Amino acid sequence: MGADLGYIGSAFIATEEANASRAYKQGIVDGSADDIIYSNLFTGVHGNYLRASIVAAGLDPANLPTSDASAMDFASASKAWRDIWGSGQGIGAVDAVVSIGDLVDRLEREYHAAAAALAAKTTQPNRRFQT
């Protein structure tokens, strides 16, 4: 299908088996790509974070300061910001907290449907060049 690599993370956080808080899982379900904030404030390294968790921590996502990575104490930062939740832009495709088995089954169905649609598209004649 043309991809050399694909990865999924956030959808697996929003599964019944994941060791994440219910609020974190629901934040992924409720969120969309517009709810992702890219910042280096929390660890000193740029990452994507859920807007709602930043707001819940009493911060303004639109006015986050930048961090000096060389001055970060990663051990204390991970505890201080434990309720700032990382997430990727793909959360818009997550609409419920489900079991890992159900998620994998859905991904497999969607892959096969996309592969079939691509195969059907590439085997149809190109009518633009027919006489």
3-state secondary structure the chain: CCCCCCCCCHHHHCECCCCCCHHHHHHHHHCCHHHEEEECCCCCCCEEEEHHHHHHCCCCHHHCCCCCHHHCCHHHHHHHCCCCCECCHHHHHCCCCECHHHHHHHHHHHHHHHHHHHHHHHHCCCHHHCC
The structural domains of the chain, with segments of one domain joined by +, span 10-99
Per-residue pLDDT tens digits of the chain, which is 131 residues long: 788 888 899 999 999 999 999 999 999 999 999 999 999 998 888 999 999 999 999 999 999 999 876 766 656 655 567 899 999 999 999 999 999 999 999 999 999 999 999 999 887 666 665 55
Whole-prediction pTM value?
0.80
